[in-house]
Amino acid sequence: QVQLVESGGGLVQTGGSLRLSCVYSGRTFSIYYMGWFRQAPGKEREFVAAIRWSGSNTYYADSMKGRFTISRDSAKNTAYLQMNSLNPEDTAVYYCAAAASGSYYLARRYDYWGQGTQVTVSS
């Protein structure tokens, strides 16, 4: 089992920034990707970004490229999502997830999920 706990969400104005954190614990040796997804009301959960557990490969959804940055600090057992230039369309619950294998952009390939943290961007 892998446990994930997100934090860092909140209310921010358009153009502002937030940094989300995801503390992980448990059987982390089984992790292949760490990912961030988001879900807005009435919409499906969508891929935001992912990072390979080994190495530094990172992946982003097209609409997040250049604005969001995913990173991981192994010493702190924490993954981060730095979000800049936020706009109201970024309003959603953001989830941290861990996958043992498979495609990094598919939510169904992730085995463990955090509880989510709300991000609200006001216009």
Q: Which residue has the tokens 């995801």?
A: 22
Angle at 37 between CA 72 and CA 23, to 5 degrees: 35
Residue 65: CA count within 13 A, CB half-sphere: 5
pLDDT of residue 51: 95
| Alpha-carbon dihedral angle through residues 86, 8, 106, 1, given to the nearest 10 degrees | 180
For the segment 19-66, what is each residue's pLDDT rounded down to a tens digit? Answer: 999 999 998 888 899 999 999 999 999 999 999 988 679 999 999 999
| Mean pLDDT value of segment 72-84 | 94
